[in-house]
Structure 1
Amino acid sequence: MSHSMRFFATVLLLAMLIMATEMGPMKIIEAKTCERLSGTFKGICFSSKNCASVCENEDEEFTGGHCSGLRRRCYCTADC
């Protein structure tokens, strides 16, 4: 009887430990991405690589850019 009680206590302790590590503060949260129409990109946006380089060279804190929309405009992106 004592042996089964010790086994049950060990299993219960391990279950509580696993549940505590999953509910802890170590959750990964993705940053929201904000985007804004580029004020310096000229012409129709065919290459997201060119758009990103223009956005990164602006005075503001943009980390990239992409072409989007029916009118193919350059949108600068940054983490909010």
Structure 2
Amino acid sequence: MERFSRSVSAVIHLMLVLLVTEMGPVAVEGGPICKATSNVYKGLCLIDDSCDIVCKREGFHKGDCKGFLRKCVCTNPC
């Protein structure tokens, strides 16, 4: 019984390690990410997709709504 519980414990630990590594941050080309508030987006940023579209039109890689005041923040690899 002890051998079974050790095997189960080892499998659970392995699954947790794999899960944690899959959930880690993803960096573009391994470099740092630069952030800038959108100059075009007006008002509260409530929908990430709208922010993303505006940021891409401004020449950025991606955009997300961030912060307490819900600003549209655009990101690019530095």
Deviation at 1:37, TM superposition (A): 0.6
TM-score (ref. length: structure 1): 0.58
Code of the residue aligned with 1:63 in structure 2: it is: H
Structure 1: segments with no counterpart, 5+ residues: 1-28
**Equivalent residue of 1:75, what SS?**
strand
Match of 2:52 in 1: 52
2:75 aligned with 1:77, yes or no? yes
Aligned residues: 50
* Moved beyond 6 Å, runs of 4+: none
**Equivalent residue of 1:55, what SS?**
helix
Between structure 1 and structure 2, the one with the greater Rg is 1
Deviation at 1:31, TM superposition (A): 1.6
CA RMSD, Structure 1 to Structure 2 (Å): 1.2
Structure 2: segments with no counterpart, 5+ residues: 1-28
Higher helix share: 2
Match of 2:30 in 1: 30
TM-score (ref. length: structure 2): 0.60
